[in-house]
Amino acid sequence: MKITEALFAEHLVFHNMFDHIEAAAPRLKTLAEIKSLAALMESLLKSHSDTEDEMFIGPLEHCFEQIGQRDAFLEEHQEIDVSLRYVQIAKDFKKARQLLLSAVSYSRKHFDKEERIVFPLAERVLNNKTLTTLNHTWMEQRARSGSGRSGR
């Protein structure tokens, strides 16, 4: 499997999580519930985004520069992370929920952009062998870090 396919498969899981958060948000009653959803999303996204930064920025840097996307790519990951951290320090329930929902919608746009631009770019620029090797590296890193995700 290529790294782009593995990341895309993770995107599908995230899209389900985003649907779930958006559907659940109006029914949530406490600040603690909002914060725990935000914390879950933050920790799951972190390993996904770190992988993308590690795997793509190096090999694709010159291409991102050509299309003027280099900084945007890195900044969007930081932006999502920061907005989810704001949820953790929010004191007001409605504000926290609004921050969580805006992080979700921002993430959707970011994911959409990766699916339309970044992954196809990676597939054009890197050959299949490289993409497959990157995926193996990623799986090995995950196995070593004990995240329990294997079998891909």
- Residue closer to Fe ion (CB basis): 39 or 44: 44
Name every residue whose Cβ is closer than 8 Å to that of residue 27 and which is 6 or more positions away in sequence: none
Burial pattern 56-88, b for ≥16 Cβ within 10 A else e, equals: beeebeebbeeeebbeebeebbeebeebbeebe
- Residue closer to Fe ion (CB basis): 3 or 114: 114
- Residue closer to Fe ion (CB basis): 4 or 49: 49
Stretch that binds Fe ion, among 22-30, 63-71, 78-86, 108-116 (CB under 5 A): 108-116
CB of 23 to Fe ion, least distance (A): 22
6 binds Fe ion (CB under 5 A): no
- Please count the residues of this chain forming the interface with Fe ion, following the rule CB under 5 A: 3
Give CA–CA dist 108/21, Å, rounded: 12
122 binds Fe ion (CB under 5 A): no
Q: Which of residues 30-69 bind Fe ion (CB under 5 A)?
A: 49, 52
Stretch that binds Fe ion, among 61-69, 80-88, 111-119, 128-136 (CB under 5 A): 111-119
114 binds Fe ion (CB under 5 A): yes
State both tokens at 138: 């990623």
- The strand ranges marked E within the chain are none
Nearest to 69 by CA among 2, 130, 121: 121
CB of 112 to Fe ion, least distance (A): 10
Three-class SS state of 1: coil
List of residues contacting Fe ion (CB under 5 A): 49, 52, 114
